[in-house]
Each structure stands twice: as C-alpha cells, then as structure tokens.
Amino acid sequence: MKRFFLFFITVILTGNIKAENGYELWLRYYKIDDAAILQQYRNNISSIQFTSSTPTLLAAKEELLNGLQGLLDKKITEQNLITNGCILVGTSSDPVIHSIISSNFFSKAGKEGYVIQTVTTNQKKVIVIAGNTEVGALYGCFAFLRLLQTHQNIQNLSIVSAPRIQLRMLDHWDNVNRTIERGYAGMSIWNWHKLPDYIDKRYKDYARANASIGINAVALNNVNANAIMLTKDYLIKVAALAEVFRPYGIKVYLSAKFSAPVEIGGLKTADPLDAQVQNWWKQKADEIYTYIPNFGGFLVKANSEEQPGPQTYNRTHADGANMLADALAPHGGIVIWRAFVYSNENTDDRFKQAYNEFKPFDGKFRNNVLIQVKNGPIDFQPREPFHPLFGAMPHTPLVMEFQLTQEYLGFSTHLVYLAPLFKECLDADTYEQGKNSTVSKVIDGSSEDHKLTGMAAVANIGSDIDWTGHPFAQANWYAFGRLAWDHELSAAQIADEWIRQTFTNIQHAVDTIKNIMLASREITVDYMTPLGLHHIMGYSHHYGPAPWYNAAQRADWNPVYYHKADSLGIGFDRTATGSNALAQYAPEARKQFQDLHTCDEKYLLWFHHVEWNYKMHSGRSLWDELCYKYYAGADSVKWMQQQWNSLKGFIDDERFEQVQMLLTIQQKEAVWWRNACVLYFQTFSRMPLPKGFEQPAKNLEYYESLQFPYAPGISGNQ
C-alpha cells in the first residue's frame, strides 16, 4: 500500500518538476507546493514596508520581494502604511519598530542578530523583521524566507537570533590565473582579467548566498599567495568586488605574501623588525584602505610549505604577525595568522609541530591578531582528533579552519556531508578549564572571554554552473555558514533545512536524503581511512589511495610515515612510548586516547601501533576489523545508490541523474580504495581476507601502477 502511495505521488510529481541546474542553490523560491501552507502564508502576508532605503536595506527588499513573490505566487506590494499582513523591516533605531518591539529582544540580537516578531499594532497584525543594524535586518529577511521555504508555521512568530561567532569566513584558495588550489568545481569565479569594469552577475549571487547563511568575511586569494594581489592594479579589482559585497555585510580580506616588500616593493629584505619593511606595510595598508574603506585585513601562511615568513629572517611568528597587525590597526583591520606549519628540518612527529611553534607565543600577539588552526593536527583528513592547540592558547583568540573543498574526501565526485565532521570537532572536549571546555567554547570566545572570534572554511566554490561541482557539496557550504552562526545546531537539523530549500519538502524524500547525508561521512571514513588511519592518499594530487607511497622528498608527505604498517601491526604510536604527541592534550582529554584498550576505535591508529591479532571490541582481530570496515564502507555506497534511486520523480530529473552518475563514480572509487588498501596492508598482516569477502578484482601491482598526472586541483601560487 505504502509503495503504491509513493508511486502515485511520484507520478503526480514528475509532471510538475522542472529541470534545475543547481545555480540557485538554496535560494530557489519556487511556488509552495503544499496548498494548506500556501494558504496560510497568503493569509498572513500581503505587503512589505522598509523603514529606509540604504544599500543593505535595498538588498534585503529585493530579496524579500523576489522570495515572497516566487514562493507565494502573488504580487506583494510595497506600502507606506501599516496594514494587516504587512512585513515591516528596519532597524531598532526606527521609532515605529522601537515602539512595538521590546528592547529586550534587541539586546539579545546584538550587533548582527535579528528579531522576527508577529505583533498586533493598531489592530493590524504585522510581522516585524529587524536588527540593531541593517545587516541584522538583512539576515532576518533571509531567515524569514528560510521559514517559508521549509514550510514552518508563521502565524505567531517570536524569534531572536544572534551569531555566536563574529568572523564567519570563507577562504578561497583561488589563484590569480583562475586555477584553484584543491578546487574541483571549475575555475575561480573571480575574473581578474575583466575586473574592475566587468561585474559578473555571479558576484552578487555569491554575496546573496553567503549573506543568507551569515557569512560575513571572504579571503579572495590563495594562502599560497601571489604578491601581485597587493599591487595597485589588483587592489582596484579587489575594491570592485568589495563594493558588490558591502551591502551584504561581507568584508574582503587578502592573503598577504610575507615577501611582498621584496617582490613588489623593491626592498632588500622582508625582515619584520626592519624599519623600512614596517613602513612599507604601513603605507600598503594605508593605500588599501583608500580603495577599500571596509577592508577586513590579511590572512597569512608563513614559513609553511615553502612560503616565506618571519623565520626566514630568524624572527618569530609573533614578530611577523604583530608587524602586520600594527600596519592595519589604525584602520581597524585584523591579521589572521595560520598555525598550519611544519618544517622539513624538524624530524619530530608532524602532529606536534604547530603546537610546539605556537604555544610559546600565547599572549604575545597584538589584540588584532587571530591564530587560525585547522580542525585537526595533520591536514583535513576524513577523521582527525581535534587539534591540540585548541585549549592550549587561552590568551590568544583562535579561529577554526575547516575545509569545504573535498581535498581528502573524494573531491567533488563523492557525496560526503561534512556537518558531522565539523560537529565532531566542535563538540570535542579540550578540558582546558575542566569538563565541558569544548572546542566550540574555545573558538566562540566563551571559555576565555575573547571578544574577537572566528570560524573559517576553505571554499569549495568554482565556476561550475552549480557552484560546487556536486549538488551535495552545496550542503557543506550551507552547513558551514549555519554552524558558524550557531554551532549548537545539529547536523541533522541543518541537513533538514538544506534539503527542504534545495530539493523538496516531501517528507519521504526529505527523510531519505537526510539518511544518506548523515551516513555519508562515516561511510567515507570506512572506505578510505577506517580505525584512525590517515594521510594514505595519492601523492601530491591527493586523488585515490596510495598507502604504499614512499618517494616524496619529505618524510611527512609519505603515507608510510603515517600508517607505519609492519609485520607486527599498524598505526602511529603517539603515546609516551612513541612520539608522545598525546602529551599536548590536557590530561583528561589525553586519557580518552592514551590507553589502547579504552581509546575510541575511531581514533585507534592515530595514537597506537596495534598488533594485527589485537582483539577489537567486536571480538574480531584488528586485521579482520580493518577488512570489515573497508568492505562495509564500499557496500554502503551501494546502499546510498539504492536510496537515491528510490527518489526518482521526487526531485527534478536533471539533478537526480547528476547525483546518480556521481554515486556511480563514488561506488567505483570506494571499491578501488578498499581493494588497494586491503591488498597493500595484507602484505604486512599476511592474513587472509575474512571468510566470504570478495577477492579484489586486480592485484596490488595494478593499483600501484595507476598514475593521475592530470588530477584536478594541484597548483602553486600562480
């Protein structure tokens, strides 16, 4: 019966769904297809009134009008009078809004938050959307449209929402020549050649999408920076983008190359303690602010992976960051200095290097410096324990750095919903100040009362028509913004609202898609790096498995450095008998990892070298468990395919087929990962595959022979 019902719905729907290319993201505003909900909205909304027409409120008005007219399929008028069903939008400084909304709400909303209230005034029922600032009101409009797009009841609204984190930032690794380092969705959307005169429509749509989820900062260029970005010609182009973004509350930042004073300034040195160098940066900052009055500041990768930095001149990270901070301070700019550093000369465990280099400088940075730390200690792996710097630098504001572009998670061909990965890190307990000192409390400033706070993510956006190359990669952009606004939202809640806005509100379809999304990250971990394996992907391009690789010029670029498989077992001993990286965590946090028998098996091989015969919680040997995980992961992609196939007719054919094809690739690649890894590790364990497991189709030599010279995403600082 249920089947028949679903089939019936499918038949009805198929005729109505128009093809979509994904360009509109989660801001589609198609007519509400539920008659009762549509009626409720039509009854409650008739007109809009804006209290002023500044650029930000004009942007809000355009969005609200466009959204309402699309969703309600009715003409919405603009009124000067308050009538029944009017939506009144403005700021708390407007006398009418001030008189009908309690100031309590506004104090909770803070600088960027919003209030959405249903109010009856002079016998007229109205909906007020307001903030203390215009950008707060803009965010409120987007939030209101989200309510409608997700079919919420809007008859008696009483909502106040404020971001938990101040700086909610996308970092583009886009090069000047429009290639993108680790980019899998086409070329950079910044057309530097045509800027500043040609303003692509995409720039505004990009700003709208970001504002709709509260993103308020973007670093435009690769952290492997090109100094040319700081020349006048390029600053003028940057200024043109900043102008498009400004009404949407978005500030631009630039990745600054530390050697710029030499490369474009004609100086002999970039030593941060040299007066001429300091002066050069001061003048550069002054110049930037003449073009971009609301410029955000610099993002810096220094002394890491061949990038220049203060250590080049025997100075410290603090010397370098503080020099730039002093140049920006008069203008209110900030420096975001990355802690992703590891040195070739240092033979100690790469895991430990960022902590060792940065912890001694805790409290030594200027007030306008933030230190940006990747979520885990190595590099955006499918699963990492939280970075030990979180909780270790109480006197320094730390910015979280996540990665949306799926460098280590199947590029833009694998469906991997990243919110569970983000949440796992944010919810981890650092025990910095006793129990419940979660990573999220470190970065939202509540642990140490920091006023400047931030969360950043490496963007997954490119020139592909759907922006992200995989329709589901859009969900990662969306989830990042929502979590940066409120890290207490759950991965399921965010998936739910994204699906409803992006695909459909039909409950069966929402549930099916949500199940796929929520399972996808763990499935990927299982077929790529189960039980705490990490960094075993292809060399340089990072595509596919290569646990055997051992030819890189630096030891810590080789997978064998990380898995340490030998005839006895597998895994990196980071306890006191090994590299003792665990000592970098607070004692209580360390406890959860340090004992082989109690360590969560998800992290086992991150911290222990474990014998092949070791008995796991399941009762299986480690070897059998490893095989079990690899096979379960690959099989689960088939489950994802079956689930997806059941959605035919619930969503448009164009995106349905796209995802179907991408899942086919994902399934093949999952089997490839499984076969290559199992065959390789078997050369050490010398144990058979567990009974009943299908023998890999090819031998290890075959997998080792695969070459991908043109895999996407590799590039330097062009």
Residues engaged in binding ligand GCV (CB under 6 A): 173, 181-182, 223-224, 301, 305, 340, 379, 407
H-helix segments, 381-506: 419-426, 439-443, 473-485, 491-502
Residue 684 CB-density burial (10 A; 0-12 exposed, 13-18 middle, 19+ buried): middle
Residues noted as catalytic = 305, 379, 407
- How far are the Cα atoms of 38, 65, 648 from residue 11, in angstroms, in the given order? 22, 33, 10
Beta carbon nearer to ligand GCV, 168 or 301: 301
Selection from 314, 167, 172, 152 nearest residue 238 by Cα: 172
Q: Nearest Cα to 402, choosing from 332, 482, 462? A: 482
Task: Provide, rounded to whole angstroms, the least separation between the CB of residue 592 and ligand GCV.
Answer: 27
CA distance 581 to 95: 59
C-alpha span between 41 and 45 (Å, rounded): 6
Distance CA 266, CA 280 (A): 10
Q: Which residues pair with 117 in a beta bridge?
A: 128, 158
CA 518 – CA 134 distance, rounded (Å): 35
| Residues belonging to the chain | 718
In angstroms, the CA 322 to CA 335 distance is 8
Tell me the β-bridge partners of 255.
299
Q: Which residues pair with 251 in a beta bridge?
A: 217
- Nearer to ligand GCV among residue 405 and residue 474 (C-beta): 405
Cross-strand bridge partners of residue 48? 78, 87
Residue closer to ligand GCV (CB basis): 407 or 522: 407
> How crowded is the C-beta side of 130, counted as CA atoms within 13 Å?
32
Quick check: bond before 196 cis, omega within 30?
yes
**What Rg value do the Cα atoms of the chain yield, rounded?**
26
User: What 3-state DSSP class applies to 87?
Assistant: strand
Beta strand 569-570 pairing with 610-611: antiparallel
Q: How far is CA 271 from CA 285, 316, 324, 342, 601, in A?
A: 17, 10, 12, 20, 47
Where in 347-439 does DSSP place strands (E)?
369-374, 398-403
> Exposure pattern of 123-145 as b/e (b: 16+ CB <10 Å)?
eebbbbbbbbbbbbbbbbbbbbb
Q: Choose between 257 and 514: whose C-beta lies nearer to ligand GCV.
A: 257
433 close to 153: Cβ distance less than 8 angstroms: no
Q: Tokens in use for 208?
A: 């709208």
Residue 179 sits at the vertex; the CA angle it makes with 223 and 387, to the nearest 5 degrees, is 35
Q: Between 145 and 335, name the residue whose CB sits nearer to ligand GCV.
A: 335
- What amino acid is encoded at 223 in this protein? V
Neighbours of 661 (CB within 10 A): 11
